[in-house]
Structure 1
Amino acid sequence: MGTVRLFLGTAVKRNWEVHQMDVYNAFLHGDLEEEIYMKHPPGFKASDPKKVCRLRKSIYGLKQSPRCWFEKLSTALKKFGFEQSLSDYSLFTMDKDGEQLHVLVYVDDLIITGSTMTVMQAFKDYLSTCFHMKDLGPLKYFLGIEVAHSPSGMYLCQRKYALDIISDSGLLGAKPVAFPLESNNKLALSASPYLPHPAKYRRLIGRLIYLAVTRPDLAYCVHFLAQFMQKPREDHWEAALRVVKYLKNNPGQGILLRAAGSFQFTGWCDSDYSGCPLTRRSVTGYFIQLGGSPISWKTNKQKTVSRSSAEAEYRAMAHITQELIWLKRILLSLGVKHDGSMLVRCDSEAAIHIATNPVFHERTKHVEVDCHFVRNEVLTKNIRLLHVGTGSQLADILTKPLGTQDYAQFCVKLGIQDLHAPT
């Protein structure tokens, strides 16, 4: 989904149109390389009931059907002149005679953008000769994400999906809450009874995970509640319902990919030292913007226990650095060169000193070598580290639960908006 947001954000800044196409019965187009047999379908009367059918083409239900379809589509795109991105195999780009065309594929859904409408129409006509296609016109609804266009940019939200979650939870008449998770909760140490039917908890958390695609304000609470999916308790279920009540407060909330602004990457990384009371591992959170538009964010528990807050912040810095490097490669595939340094804002001066001074430190002798690649990126000026105050650290909302006032302020700073809110 980071590729989707970067793809759309780049098209918006270039003022390119974004269109969508769909393939009818995509899995039936694939060619099988394996020898596969199947029983007679229901209603088919065979002369010899002992005989079976041999498949020549892929059908729905085969494990290799998605792979066969993607191979068939990739071959058709490369024949037209596209190159497949090595950073994300679902992205195809073409630069021919000064005209650019980009295609992003998700199974049978394609979003297309290009420098001119002529080259886009020519590609649509070619694709219609290869497969049975449906031209859906300008992008409005993709993978459950509602898209609204305006001169100021492109607004992404999942209002219908959020309302379905609220309705299925039976909380359409509930009183909304201002923030999703209590600040001083004891959910990790809860001793309440186990849920007799944990499937409903797992289903709800799974839906919330996908809802966080356009809502960075949900990243921490969903990550926190997801760690109890194996054996959820009643307290965890009540906390999950509180998140749904928070959705009722603003179901149409989403992100705005701004048309104004540069192609400058700015990252914010933070860490909650020893945030997990069970494992004593720290929680990492990062938030990345492209010229002021939210592009990538993540909340993750670190794999090892950090011995100091500086070490925890340094590991968070390593996480965001590798994400920035990957995003820069995707941006290059889209035909945009990011020549300057990518900015990383961190609220720990100790972590910045460790990353910028390539000398031996007693406090980092046990840190894995892969974390120290941050120093090389700083030396080559691929990233530039800047100190930011804790109160202005945007990634703070991704590492810990916050109260009403702080939560509302951070949502505004993150660029989260509600297009459906009353004016």
Structure 2
Amino acid sequence: MVVRNKARLVARGFYQKKRINYEETFALVARLEAIRILLAFAASKGFKLQQMDVKSAFLNGFIEEEVYVRQPPGFESAKFPDRVYMLRKALYGLKQAPRAWYARLKSFLLKSGFVMGSVDKTLFLLSCGGDTLIVQIYVVDIIFGGLSHALVSSFAEQMSREFEMSHMGELQFFLGLQINQSPEGTFVHQVKYTKDILKKFDMGDSKPMKTPMSTNTTLDADEDGEAVDWKEFRGMIGSLLYLTMTRSDIQFAVCLCARYQASPRTSHRQAVKLNLRYLKFTPELGLWYSKGSSLSLRGFSVADHAGCRIDRKSTSGTCQLLETSLVSWSSRKQASISLSTTEAEYVAAASCCSQLLWMKATLSDFGLRFGRIPLLVDSIFAISVAKNPVLHSRTKHIDVRFHFLRDQYKKGDIDLVHVISWRCVDNALIKGEIESQWTGLIALLV
């Protein structure tokens, strides 16, 4: 039964021409790592985050260009049927609408006393006395929270007076994430999304698998294999990539399968189905951010050497933690071929270092200060390359952009620490000690 029909005037933005009807279309969006950092910070400090949704957000933005639209069918002016409207505010469909909305919201927050983050421009902070209100913007969704309930309530009322808002209360669903905030901490998962994936690809009745795809698994182009439907295969990959927002344990496996989207074969689809079978056995896994945990920053990096069987490029695996809270991770193939294991590890450590520096700058807006950030690497030789410029003759072929790792070590921003990887040890007792040290991160780090 239809209770109410809703209609919205939408501009035909594809008629717009650059530098005539619009200049810039870029609009800032919060990184997923920034969202996880905020969740971990809020859980550590013991306050709950709340959420607001802006109704018809793009209609609040002011546009600077002269844009004209025809009169909508059925609503033509009887006096001037041949005239057009000149827009003063943005409409849905305009290319500059998201940018105009962000500019309007930013202007309002800055006038209200907020300070923009030095690195993350979607982060706004308001200090009042000894309390701080944190606001994170993701297009039309606004996450906010703080230890002062009065400050939080005042912000919600202020936003409702300025914009048409829906105060959705405690943060529970955000970008497909299910967020359970409790006095002990915050649990972030995608159980509903996982079950929807299994149902979508008819894997609901499949046999569960207890472990994810092994990091020793190798795939190649398999040109002699039977071709499969590329639309279905890309759909599987896209769905699994979205799931890696909370599932670091499948990051490596999904990224490995994603390399063959151009011409998928039966062996590639079978590898993807192994991941789906593993998800069927572990749909409830997610990220846990505990209350009261310290927020010391550290990173891990590791790499294989010539792991790709097609182009012999190496794969970098990195992760960054706030004490025990995993907030960032990656598994990606390196851009160039490494001539040695040392070079592969060095490049992976440089990638991890850049992410740590971004997180350090972001966390400084939260009032957190760090000295030397420990970066754990399982290669003594890669650490030596970073510490000793005398080895430059052996590393002159490495791209210059990776040598900033050496500069950051000299500046005292990071501290390179050697850690033994599980794959390098045969002794069972030492393996057990390393397993507890890495705390479940072996599946991520190749």
Which shifted more, 348-357 or 180-189?
A: 180-189
Q: Call closer, same or farther: CA 1:160–1:359 in 2, change over 3 Å.
A: same
Whole-angstrom distance in 1 between the partners of 2:40 and 2:215: 33
Whole-angstrom distance in 1 between the partners of 2:69 and 2:193: 37
- Can you give the 5+ residue segments of structure 1 that lack an aligned partner in the other structure? 394-404, 417-423
Whole-angstrom distance in 2 between the partners of 1:389 and 1:84: 41
Please show how residues 22-41 of structure 1 align to structure 2 within 5 Å: 22-41=53-72
Q: Which amino acid aligns with 1:175?
A: K
The equivalent of 2:9 in structure 1 is none
**Alignment partner of 1:194 is 2:221:** no
Does the aligned pair in 2 maintain the 1:38–1:52 contact within 8 Å?
A: yes
Q: Deviations over 1:2-53 (max 9, x none)?
A: 1011111111111122111111111111112122223443433454665444
Q: Call closer, same or farther: CA 1:392–1:364 in 2, change over 3 Å.
A: same
The equivalent of 1:384 in structure 2 is 415
The equivalent of 2:322 in structure 1 is 290
Please show how residues 23-422 of structure 1 align to structure 2 within 5 Å: 23-45=54-76, 47=78, 50-181=82-213, 185-191=217-223, 192-195=225-228, 197-338=229-370, 340-391=371-422, 413-414=440-441
Which shifted more, 270-279 or 184-193?
A: 184-193
Which shifted more, 207-216 or 89-98?
A: 89-98
Whole-angstrom distance in 2 between the partners of 1:39 and 1:251: 50
- Can you give the 5+ residue segments of structure 2 that lack an aligned partner in the other structure? 1-31, 425-431
The equivalent of 1:400 in structure 2 is none
Partner of 1:232, secondary structure, is: coil
Whole-angstrom distance in 2 between the partners of 1:132 and 1:343: 46
Number of equivalent positions: 401
Shift of 1:375: 1.7
Shift of 1:185: 4.6
Whole-angstrom distance in 2 between the partners of 1:157 and 1:199: 27
Q: Call closer, same or farther: CA 1:140–1:330 in 2, change over 3 Å.
A: same
Q: Call closer, same or farther: CA 1:337–1:186 in 2, change over 3 Å.
A: closer
Partner of 1:188, secondary structure, is: coil
Q: Deviations over 1:66-119 (max 9, x none)?
A: 111111111111111111123111111122322211100111111102231111
TM-score (norm 1): 0.89
Shift of 1:354: 1.0
Shift of 1:149: 2.0
Q: Call closer, same or farther: CA 1:410–1:50 in 2, change over 3 Å.
A: farther
Q: Call closer, same or farther: CA 1:222–1:189 in 2, change over 3 Å.
A: same
Identical-residue share of aligned pairs (%): 35
Shift of 1:211: 0.7
Does the aligned pair in 2 maintain the 1:256–1:415 contact within 8 Å?
A: no
Q: Call closer, same or farther: CA 1:109–1:326 in 2, change over 3 Å.
A: same
Q: Which amino acid aligns with 1:4?
A: I
Q: Which amino acid aligns with 1:373?
A: F
Whole-angstrom distance in 2 between the partners of 1:152 and 1:67: 38
Q: Call closer, same or farther: CA 1:40–1:237 in 2, change over 3 Å.
A: farther
Whole-angstrom distance in 1 between the partners of 2:356 and 2:218: 34
Partner of 1:386, secondary structure, is: strand
Whole-angstrom distance in 2 between the partners of 1:73 and 1:95: 18
The equivalent of 1:401 in structure 2 is none
Shift of 1:183: 5.7
Whole-angstrom distance in 2 between the partners of 1:114 and 1:392: 43
The equivalent of 1:419 in structure 2 is none
TM-score (norm 2): 0.85
Q: Call closer, same or farther: CA 1:202–1:411 in 2, change over 3 Å.
A: farther
Q: Deviations over 1:244-287 (max 9, x none)?
A: 12111111210101223322111110001111111111100101
Does the aligned pair in 2 maintain the 1:13–1:261 contact within 8 Å?
A: yes
Whole-angstrom distance in 2 between the partners of 1:79 and 1:170: 52
Does the aligned pair in 1 maintain the 2:221–2:260 contact within 8 Å?
A: no
Partner of 2:440, secondary structure, is: helix
Q: Call closer, same or farther: CA 1:319–1:183 in 2, change over 3 Å.
A: closer
Does the aligned pair in 1 maintain the 2:218–2:308 contact within 8 Å?
A: no
Does the aligned pair in 1 maintain the 2:45–2:292 contact within 8 Å?
A: no
